[in-house]
Amino acid sequence: MPKLVGLMAMDAREAAESGGVLLAAPDRPDFPRTVVDYVVRQYPPPGAEVPRGTVVTVWFDFGEGEGGGGAGVHEPRLPCPGGGGIQRELDEPGDPYAVAGFGSLC
What pLDDT is recorded for position 79? 64
Phi, psi of 16 (to 5 degrees): -65, -45
pLDDT over 90 (residue 11): yes
Average pLDDT of the residues in 43-47: 90
What pLDDT is recorded for position 15? 93
Q: How large a percentage of the chain has pLDDT more than 70? A: 58
Does the reported pTM lie above 0.85?
no
Peptide bond into 79 cis (omega under 30): no
pLDDT over 70 (residue 24): yes
Instruction: Please state, in angstroms and rounded to a whole number, the distance separating the CA atoms of residues 31 and 35.
Output: 8
